[in-house]
Amino acid sequence: MQVNTTLIRDDSVKNMNKSSAPLSSQVVPLILLTGIFFLNFISRIILAPLMPTIENDLGIGHGEAGALFFLISLGYFAALMGSGFFSYHLTHRKTIILSSMVSGAALFAISISHTMWGIRLGLLIVGMAAGIYLPSGLSTLTSLVRSRDWGKAIAIHEMAPNFGFVVAPLLSEILLIWFSWRYILILLGVVSVS
């Protein structure tokens, strides 16, 4: 016995889009999600422009500094693979909130840590917190707007990483005039949690 999957797929899209709205009516939630994604992304890349200062402060070389980025990526990969577990047991909304809260707390923990193991663990957690966001963020985004507006909504949402690549070095250079790298991470952590 064969099931006509085309009809099932079409019916599920019709039912899903009953609660969706035009993009123009969802601008505020879209900007909020894009802002959360921006903070999520910048928390992973802010270390790159801060790394010369971090290397000097901690007395580490380029090899050990590179390993720190590996830990962020490892955490991101692991959490991305298991993100369905979180969104299944929580809602997508709660997963997004958890991602922001844990990311901010991990940045704060890194900033007050004076051991390499504490910093490594914090960076692994930053990667993991960032990894659970993307599937829930995109799912929430596509549930907000009509399916014909998904491309536009996702394009706006995906501007966050590009904006992050521009803002992270500028923000780092400006804030390093007044603050150490530790205070910059505290500031980013506080913004991420709030």
In a domain, 6, yes or no: no
User: pLDDT at position 151, please?
Assistant: 86
CATH number of domain containing 75: 1.20.1250.20
Domain count, the chain: 1
CB 151 within 8 A of CB 96: no
Considering the domain boundaries, does residue 8 fall inside one? no
Residue 10, token pair as written in the block: 């079409």
* Interval 23-73: pLDDT, tens: 666 778 889 999 999 999 999 999 999 999 988 888 888 888 889 999 999
The string of pLDDT tens digits covering residues 81-129 is: 988 888 888 888 898 999 999 999 999 999 999 899 999 999 999 999 9
- What mean pLDDT is predicted for residues 183-188? 93
Distances from the Cα of 168 to the Cα of 39, 66, 145, angstroms: 10, 18, 30
Residue 13 predicted with pLDDT over 70: no
Write down the pLDDT at residue 10: 38
How far is the C-alpha of 14 from the C-alpha of 18, rounded, in Å?
6
Provide the 3-class DSSP secondary structure of residue 19: coil
Express each pLDDT in 141-165 by its tens digit. 888 888 888 888 888 889 999 999 9
In the predicted structure, residue 6 carries a pLDDT above the cut 60 = no
| DSSP assignments along 90-103, one per residue | S-HHHHHHHHHHHH
Domain extent, residue 173, equals: 25-193
